[in-house]
């Protein structure tokens, strides 16, 4: 019976991690496109806004039972909604040509990225500790 619980926990971890990995890969791909293109980055930001809204919904839609994994789920939904909002705010600041708002929103992106790294580490510790 313990193995079943472990298997269930492993399965739940895998569901969450699969989407998180997909989001991380896509963020890297968008960043590479952004670095490769010259000038206006609005299209990349718009894509990021849309994709992270979708990732938040995908994660929110996962049916989980483990209370710790559910907590991670909520944190990722919040994080990806913040990422999406930060991206939208950055687009708006760029459109207004407001340098201080652009700088503030870039800092917000940095904070979200730091939170994501910490959250991924927590998930890896929790899900990696399954015996």
In order along its 131 residues, the chain shows pLDDT tens digits of 333 445 688 999 999 999 999 998 888 887 777 666 666 778 888 988 999 999 999 999 999 999 999 999 999 999 999 999 988 998 899 889 888 998 888 888 788 888 999 999 999 999 986 54
* Chain CA centroid to CA 94, Å: 22
Q: Report the predicted TM-score, pTM, of the whole model to 2 decimal places.
A: 0.86
DSSP character at residue 37:
S
| 119 closest CA partner among 86, 58, 77, 65 | 77
| 123 closest CA partner among 73, 49, 84 | 73
Domain boundaries, the chain: 2-128
């Amino acid at each position: 019976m313990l193995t079943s619980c472990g298997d269930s926990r492993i399965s739940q971890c895998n569901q969450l991690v699969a989407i998180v990995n997909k989001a991380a890969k896509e963020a890297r791909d968008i960043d590479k496109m952004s670095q490769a293109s010259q000038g206006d980055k609005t299209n990349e930001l718009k894509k990021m806004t849309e994709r992270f809204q979708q990732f938040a919904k995908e994660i929110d839609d996962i049916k989980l039972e483990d209370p710790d994994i559910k907590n991670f789920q909520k944190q990722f939904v919040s994080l990806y909604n913040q990422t999406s909002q930060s991206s939208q705010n950055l687009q708006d600041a760029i459109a207004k040509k407001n340098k201080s708002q652009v700088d503030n929103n870039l800092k917000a992106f940095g904070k979200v990225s730091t939170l994501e790294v910490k959250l991924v580490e927590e998930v890896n510790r929790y899900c990696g500790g399954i015996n």
